[in-house]
Amino acid sequence: MAFIPHTPADVEAMLATIGVSSIEQLFDEIPASLRVKSLDRVPVGLNEMQIGRLMSERARADGRPLCYIGAGAYEHHIPAAVWALTTRGEFYSAYTPYQAEASQGTLQLIYEYQTMMASLTGMDVSNASLYDGASAVAEGSLMAVRANRKSKSLRILVPRTVNPQYRRVAVATAGNQGLRFEDVAYTPDGGVTPLDALKKYDSEDVTAIVIQQPNFFGQLEDVDALTDWAHAKGTFVIAVVNPTSLALLKPPGEWGSSGKGADIVVGDGQPLGVPLSSGGPYFGFMTTRMEYVRQMPGRIVGRTVDVSGRAGFTLTLQAREQHIRRAKATSNICTNQGLLVTAATIYMSLMGPVGLERTAAASHASANDLVSALTAVKGVRRAFAGPFFHESVLLFDRPVGPILTSLANRGILGGLDLSELYPELGYALLVCATETKTKSDIESYVTALSEAAAAVRAA
Amino acid sequence: MMRTHDKASKLIFEYSHPGRGATDQWPQPLPATATSDLPQRLLRTKPPLLPEVGELEAVRHFTRLSQLNFSIDTHFYPLGSCTMKYNPKACNQYAMLPEFLGRHPLAPESHGQGFLACMYELQEMLKEVTGMQGVALSPMAGAHGEFAGVAMIRAYHRSRGDLARNEIIVPEAAHGTNPATATMCGCIVREIPVNDEGDIELDALRAAVGPNTAGIMLTNPSTLGVFERRIEEVARIVHTAGGLLYYDGANLNAILGKVRPGDMGFDVIHMNLHKTFSTPHGGGGPGAGAVGVSARLRPFLPIPIVGLEEGHRYRWLAEKDLPQSIGRLSGFMGNAGVLLRAYIYMRMLGREGMSQVGEYATLNANYLLTRLKQAGFDAAYPSRRASHEFIITLKRQARELDVTTMDFAKRLLDHGIHAPTTYFPLLVPECLLIEPTETESKDVLDAFVAAMTQIQQEAEQEPERVTSAPHTMPVRRLDDVRAAKQLDLRWKPTA
C-alpha cells in the first residue's frame, strides 16, 4: 500500500546484511517511551480504485458552476498541450536543478521564462518565480528596503485599490522586520488613486509605493503620474500587474514620463495557463532593473559555458540565497514554483504575442458586455466611471449576499461581495469576465439575476 | 547514452517566425473598436518578445527539454534531506479532476464541500501523525512553514508580554533556511555545537538558554542522519527556560508512524508535504509546508483553516474566528492542488501504510550504509544507526587521491544516478548525504553500491576520468564563475 517494492526475501537478506533480526531493531536508539502506539485517527488505506471513486464523489459535490469571480484569480482557456507536457514525469518529478548537468531541461526552460517575463513587463531581468502574487508583493517590499539606499523609513504606501489580501500578506510577512504598510485613499467616483491623496507624503521619507494596474476594482490607474510623483522624491515604484493585461497595457518598464519605469514588478502568474484550483498552486513573478539584480530574492538562472565551451544553463547569483548566506540571505525562500513556471512558459509559447493580445482584448470585450448587460437590470449600476480591464465594481440597491446565494443555487457564481472588504461602497459586487464567457453565458447571468432579484424582493 | 541535445539546446525563440502561431488556441480577432475605450496613453506600443511558433514545434521543443532532465520517474535520486520518493500517478490524476481545477478560490462554501472535506480530513490526519493539536495548511513551502512557525513563537511570547524573547537557537548542522527564517522573523540566531556522535551538546544548550530564548529549531532525526537520543532532556531544558521547541519536518519520513514530534515535546512543526507525503518537487516547486502546533499555539495559526460545523458542514475559519492569528501568508489558501495530492496519498497509505514508510525508509538507509561500509567507504557516524538517511565522508579520497565529493557526485550522473546531497551538512568535510527512500528496491540500492565501487576504482586507477565527469550528460561541468560575473539572464535577439 505504501508503494514499497520489497519482497519478504529482500527484507530477510537486507536484515542479514545489516546484522539485525528485525526492522524494529533499527529503531532501538529511540527511547521506548516515545514510540507510537497507534494512529487511530488515520483511516485504513484505500486502493487506487477506491480512492478514485471517493475523489470523483467529492469533485461532483463541488459542481462546475458558471463563474464570474475574479479578484486575483482568473479563468482562461488553457491549451491541452500545457498540462500534457507539464505533467510529464521528467518535469513533474524532478528536483530543484542544483545538479545543472542533469537538469538542463528545467534550467533552459526557466531561462526562456525569464526572457518572456522580462519582456512582458518591460524590465531587464526576472527571477525564476516566487510563491504567489501576494507573497511577491511582500518580497518586493523587502527588496525595495534593501535596494532603495536613499530611504531609511521602511514605509511602504499601499493604496486601497491594491488587492487587500496582498496587503495582509505583506503585513504578516514583512511586519516582523519593521516594515510599515500605510493606506492611501481612492477617489469615490473613479476608484483610482489620486495624486491629491499622496500630497501629505510630499516631504516625507517613503521607501516605496505599490501601484496595481489594473487595480483591484479592475479600474486603470494613472500609472505615469503616480510613477513620476514617486521618482521625483526618491520613492521606489513596486508595480503589481496582471500578465494577461500586459499584452494590451503599457508595461511597467515604461511607466512615467522619464521612461525610467517601475523599479520592481511583481504579480501573480496564474492567468498564464494555471487553473483556478481553489487558489493554488499559482506562482508569483518578479522582474527588476539590472542594477538591483543582487537584491532580488529567489532563484535566477544564467547562461554560461561548460569546460568544452558549449552553452549551458545554471543557477546563478546563489550568494544571495539561504543555503549559502544562512542568516544573512536576501530571503529564507528556497523554492520557486517550478512546475507552474513550466506551464506558463508553454502557455506563453503557444499564445505568442498575437494570441495573448487577443486573449486580453477578448476578455476586455467580454467584461464590457457583461457590465452593459448587468447594468441594464433595474437597481444595478457601475460604482466607478472610467476604463476598466476585465473586471468592474457594480452597485446594487439591496444587499448582495442573498442575491449571490440565489444565483449560486442557479449554478452561477455572480462575483465577489465587497461589503466586508470595502463597507464604504455600500452594496458592491466585483464581477469579472474573460474570453471564456460567451454571449449566451452572459445572457444566462442576466436572466438568473433578474430571477434572483425578484426572488429576493419577494422574500 | 547519446542524446539529441544539439536540437534541444536551441531556444524556443530561435524557432520563431513572424506570423506563425498555435492559432487554434487563440480567440477570434476582434475589431479595433473592442478596445478603443482604453486610453491610448495607457496602452502598449511594442509587442512583447514571445515566441511565434506552431503547436507541434512547441510540443517537440518542450518534450525535448524534459528529456534533458533527471527525474524520479526516470532515475534513482538518493538526495539526502529531500525525500525523493515515487510520486504516485493516482495523486496527480485525481487532484486534476475538472471540478477541482475549475473551482475558484473565492467560490462559496456551497460549491466547495467536497474540496473542503478533503482539506479538513487532511488537517486531522496530519494532527494524528505528528501528535499536534492544530494544523494550518496555507504555507506554500517548507521555508514558508518555518516562517509561520517562528512567527507563531514570537506571537506567543508577545501575547504574554514576554517581549525580550528574540533569540532562536539552532544546532550548527541545521538547514540554511532555519537561521534565514529566524532573521526574517526579526530574531537573533545562536548556533550551538553537536558532539562527535551527532547529538546536541547539552552543556552548550544549557549555557545558551535564558530569558531571551524564544525557542530552538531542531530536525530530528538531525541533518546528520541520526536520531537525537536525548530529545526529552533537550525539551526539558528549553521549556524550563521559557522557550518553545520548533520541529523542522524535513526528516519526518524517517519516523512516520514510529515517533511523533508532539510526543517528543515539540510545540510547533512544519511538514514538507512534497517530501514525506510524496507530492511532486516539480523541478523546484510547488511545495507545501503545512504547520502543526500544540494547544498553546493554536490561537496563532495562520489563516485560513477549514472548520467543521454541526458535524457535517465545512467552512473557512478566518480573521473573525482567529483574532490572534499571525495572519495570511498566501493570496488565498495556499497550494490547494498540492494539498489534494498529499490527501490522496495519505488516504491510500492509511494508518498501516504510514508506519511502513518510516520502517522501510530506515531499512533501505541502513542496508545501503552497511553495504557501502563493507565496500570500504567511511561513514561519518560509524557507531550510529542510520535514520532514513546517512552521511558518507570522502575526506580520505580527497586527501589521498585528490578526488573530491563533487567528482564522485558528477561521475554518478554518468551511471544514471542523481547525485546525493553534497557538502551538506557543512560541518562534515567532503560529505555525501544519502537518502534512498522506501520506494526503491534492493536492486536499485545494489546498483548504487556497484556504481560507487566502480567510481572508487576509477579514482584509484584513472582519476581524471572521475575529476572530469560527467561525460554523458547534455553538458559537461559549467563555468559558474562566468555565470555570476558575465550575467546572461535573458535571451536577446541579434539585431
Q: Which of residues 385-424 of B touch A (CB under 8 A)?
A: 385, 409-410, 413, 418-419, 424
Of A304, A320, A345, the position where a domain reaches its end is A345
Q: What is the pLDDT of residue A452?
A: 85
Give this prediction's pTM: 0.97
B71 close to A (CB below 8 A) = yes
Q: How far apart are CA B405 and CA B396, in angstroms?
A: 10
What letters, b where the CB count within 10 A reaches 16 and e where it falls short, cover B360-379? bbbbbbbbbbbbbeeeebeb
Of A126 and A176, more confident: A126
Q: What is the pLDDT of residue B6?
A: 53
Taking CB atoms and an 8 Å limit, are B100 and A359 in contact across chains? no
Q: Smallest Cβ distance to A314: which of B100, B108, B483? A: B483
Q: What is the pLDDT of residue B180?
A: 87
- Please check whether residue B265 lies inside any domain of the structure: yes
Q: What is the pLDDT of residue B2?
A: 36
Q: What are the residues whose beta carbons fall under 8 Å from the beta carbon of B368, sequence distance 6 or more?
A: B78, B386, B390, B434, B436, B445, B448, B449
- Please check whether residue A193 lies inside any domain of the structure: yes
Q: How far apart are CA B234 and CA B400, in angstroms?
A: 40
Q: Are residues B95 and B233 in the same domain?
A: yes
Q: How far apart are CA A63 and CA B336, in angstroms?
A: 17
Q: What is the pLDDT of residue B495?
A: 62
Q: Is the peptide bond before B286 cis (omega within 30 degrees of 0)?
A: yes
Q: Smallest Cβ distance to B184: which of A1, A41, A331? A: A331
Q: What is the pLDDT of residue B28?
A: 96
pLDDT tens digits for A296-337?
A: 999 999 999 999 999 999 999 988 766 767 667 667 777 789
For residues A273-302, average pLDDT: 97
Q: Are residues B407 and B291 in the same domain?
A: no
- Please check whether residue A200 lies inside any domain of the structure: yes
CATH number of the domain enclosing A135: 3.40.640.10
- All cell numbers assigned to B185: 522573523
Q: Are residues B324 and B406 in the same domain?
A: no
Taking CB atoms and an 8 Å limit, are B280 and A246 in contact across chains? no
- B-chain CB neighbours of A39 within 8 Å are 128-129, 257, 351, 354-355
Q: What is the pLDDT of residue A457?
A: 76
For residues A99-110, average pLDDT: 97
Taking CB atoms and an 8 Å limit, are B176 and A325 in contact across chains? yes
In percent, how much of chain A has pLDDT > 70? Answer: 97
For residues A106 and A118, is the Cβ–Cβ distance under 8 A?
A: no
pLDDT tens digits for B139-151?
A: 999 999 999 999 9
Q: Are residues A228 and A267 in the same domain?
A: yes
Length of chain A: 459
Nearest CA in chain A to B486: A304
Min mean pLDDT across A329-343, B95-109, B166-180, B366-380 is at A329-343
A385 close to B (CB below 8 A) = no
Q: Is B462 exposed, middle or buried (0-12, 13-18, 19+ CB in 10 A)?
A: exposed
pLDDT band at B183 (very low <50, low <70, confident <90, very high): confident
pLDDT band at A161 (very low <50, low <70, confident <90, very high): very high
Of B301, B316, B349, the position where a domain reaches its end is B349
- Please check whether residue B407 lies inside any domain of the structure: yes
> How many distinct structural domains can be found in chain A?
3
Q: Are residues A259 and A388 in the same domain?
A: no
- Please check whether residue B296 lies inside any domain of the structure: yes
pLDDT band at A109 (very low <50, low <70, confident <90, very high): very high
Q: Are residues B298 and B152 in the same domain?
A: yes
Q: Which of residues 351-380 of A touch B (CB under 8 A)?
A: 351-359, 361-362, 364-365, 368
Q: How far is CA B155 from CA A168, B176, B214, in A?
A: 16, 23, 10
Q: Are residues B312 and B250 in the same domain?
A: yes
Q: What is the pLDDT of residue B426?
A: 86
pLDDT band at B5 (very low <50, low <70, confident <90, very high): very low
B181 close to A (CB below 8 A) = yes
Nearest to B288 by CA among A392, A50, A32, A279: A279
Nearest CA in chain B to A39: B351
Q: Smallest Cβ distance to A306: which of B77, B107, B478? A: B478
pLDDT tens digits for A2-25?
A: 999 999 999 999 999 999 999 999
Q: Are residues B263 and B164 in the same domain?
A: yes
Taking CB atoms and an 8 Å limit, are A101 and B182 in contact across chains? no
Q: Smallest Cβ distance to A73: which of B52, B104, B424? A: B104
pLDDT tens digits for B6-16?
A: 545 799 999 99
Q: What is the pLDDT of residue A455?
A: 80
- Please check whether residue B174 lies inside any domain of the structure: yes
Q: Are residues A364 and A291 in the same domain?
A: no
A419 close to B (CB below 8 A) = no
Taking CB atoms and an 8 Å limit, are A118 and B490 in contact across chains? yes
Q: Are residues A215 and A340 in the same domain?
A: yes
Distance from CA of A45 to the nearest CA of B (A): 4
Q: What is the pLDDT of residue B173?
A: 80
Q: Could you tell me how many helices (H) and strands (E) chain A has, helices first?
A: 12, 15
Q: Give me the domain span that covers residue A445.
A: 66-76+354-458
Min mean pLDDT across A20-24, A166-170, B227-231, B454-458 is at B227-231
Q: Are residues B94 and B113 in the same domain?
A: yes
Q: Which of residues 316-355 of A touch B (CB under 8 A)?
A: 316-319, 321-329, 331-340, 342, 345-346, 348-355
- Please check whether residue A32 lies inside any domain of the structure: yes
Q: Is the ipTM of this complex over 0.90?
A: yes
Nearest CA in chain A to B109: A62
pLDDT band at B337 (very low <50, low <70, confident <90, very high): very high
Q: Could you tell me how many helices (H) and strands (E) chain B has, helices first?
A: 17, 13
Mean pLDDT of chain B: 95
Q: Are residues B208 and B287 in the same domain?
A: yes
Q: Are residues B298 and B412 in the same domain?
A: no
Q: Are residues B330 and B406 in the same domain?
A: no
- Please check whether residue A170 lies inside any domain of the structure: yes
What residue spans of A243-395 are helical by DSSP H? 322-325, 338-375
Q: What is the pLDDT of residue B81?
A: 92
A225 close to B (CB below 8 A) = no
- All cell numbers assigned to B166: 528574540
Q: What is the pLDDT of residue A252?
A: 98
Q: Are residues A14 and A142 in the same domain?
A: no
DSSP track, A311-342: EEEEE--GGGSHHHHGGGSS-S-----HHHHH
Q: What is the pLDDT of residue B4?
A: 40
End-to-end CA distance of chain A: 54
Q: Are residues B180 and B273 in the same domain?
A: yes
For residues A405-413, average pLDDT: 96
pLDDT band at A270 (very low <50, low <70, confident <90, very high): very high
Q: What is the pLDDT of residue B227?
A: 93
Of A345, A373, A405, the position where a domain reaches its end is A345
pLDDT band at B1 (very low <50, low <70, confident <90, very high): very low
Q: What is the pLDDT of residue B275?
A: 96
Q: Smallest Cβ distance to A307: which of B384, B477, B483? A: B477
- Please check whether residue B301 lies inside any domain of the structure: yes
Classified as helix, coil or strand, B340 is helix
- All cell numbers assigned to A234: 526618491
- Please check whether residue B287 lies inside any domain of the structure: yes
CATH number of the domain enclosing B445: 3.90.1150.10
Distance from CA of B160 to the nearest CA of A (A): 17
Q: Give me the domain span that covers residue B249.
A: 90-349
In percent, how much of chain B has pLDDT > 70? Answer: 98
Of B349, B376, B397, the position where a domain reaches its end is B349
Q: How far apart are CA B218 and CA B208, in angstroms?
A: 15
Q: What is the pLDDT of residue B470?
A: 97
A281 close to B (CB below 8 A) = yes
- Please check whether residue B21 lies inside any domain of the structure: no
- Please check whether residue A244 lies inside any domain of the structure: yes
CATH number of the domain enclosing B155: 3.40.640.10
Q: How far apart are CA B74 and CA A89, in angstroms?
A: 8
Q: Are residues A229 and A86 in the same domain?
A: yes
Q: Are residues A172 and A143 in the same domain?
A: yes
Q: What is the pLDDT of residue B176?
A: 81
Q: Are residues A116 and A44 in the same domain?
A: no
Q: Smallest Cβ distance to B65: which of A33, A108, A362? A: A108
CATH number of the domain enclosing A390: 3.90.1150.10
pLDDT tens digits for B252-311?
A: 999 999 999 999 999 999 999 999 999 999 999 999 999 999 999 999 999 999 999 998
- Please check whether residue A1 lies inside any domain of the structure: no
For residues B337-358, average pLDDT: 97
Of B349, B377, B392, the position where a domain reaches its end is B349
Mean pLDDT of chain A: 96
- B-chain CB neighbours of A413 within 8 Å are 104, 107-108, 111
> How many distinct structural domains can be found in chain B?
2
- Please check whether residue A3 lies inside any domain of the structure: no
Q: Are residues B399 and B278 in the same domain?
A: no
Sheet containing strand B390-393, strands side by side: B378-379, B390-393, B431-434, B421-422
A421 close to B (CB below 8 A) = no
For residues B436 and B378, is the Cβ–Cβ distance under 8 A?
A: no
Q: Are residues A316 and A365 in the same domain?
A: no
Residue A285, H or E segment: strand A284-288
Q: Are residues A339 and A389 in the same domain?
A: no
Q: Are residues A255 and A306 in the same domain?
A: yes
Q: Are residues A70 and A51 in the same domain?
A: no
Interface size A-B, in CB pairs within 8 Å, comes to 692
Statement: residue B174 has pLDDT above 90: no
